[in-house]
Amino acid sequence: MTIAVDFDGTIVTHEYPKIGEELPFATDTLKELIKDQHQLILWTVREGELLDEAVNWCKERGVEFYAINRDYPEEEKEKNNHFSRKLKVDLWIDDRNIGGLPDWGTIYRMVKEGLTWRDIIRERSHSIADTCPPKPKHWWQRMF
């Protein structure tokens, strides 16, 4: 899969223009996704020096992206008559998702096992229901 990944609020806590603290297991998960042969694109509002800082921060932690703010590494706006700011990816990992950003362990499971957010919610609601004691019956239901 080709996966677009945001930086601020997704890989690190949101402290733009500074680089925040790494979110737990973010870079470990990204390295696993790369190892699993997924192409990761860093898709961020950062540009110029701020972008270079983010890219270097990731490289220092062993995460090298397939492309940065573009569909493929050699893409140039002037040489691509079909250029679009919208990436052509299979999946977006971004803290601005509806419902927010799942933890990185859940993200990895979703990609690895092909699960949807609905699958995860359903799975969690079943496990909660399994651990809850049965609801007590009303006095009138106990009579029958």
Task: Report the topology of domain 2-142.
Answer: Rossmann fold (3.40.50)
Give the count of alpha carbons within 13 A of 95, CB side only. Answer: 13
Q: Looking at the DSSP assignment, which residues form a beta bridge with residue 92?
A: 4
pTM given for the model: 0.80
Residue 34, H or E segment: helix 26-35
pLDDT tens digit sequence for 20-46? 999 999 999 999 999 999 999 999 999
Q: What is the DSSP letter of 85?
A: S
Give the pLDDT band (50/70/90) at residue 80.
low
Give the pLDDT band (50/70/90) at residue 135.
low
Q: Express as a percent the part of the chain with pLDDT over 90.
A: 65
Nearest of 17, 20, 16, 38 to residue 29 by alpha carbon: 38
Give the count of alpha carbons within 13 A of 125, CB side only. Answer: 6
Q: Give Cα 45 to chain centroid, integer Å.
A: 16
Quick one: tokens of 19?
């680089």
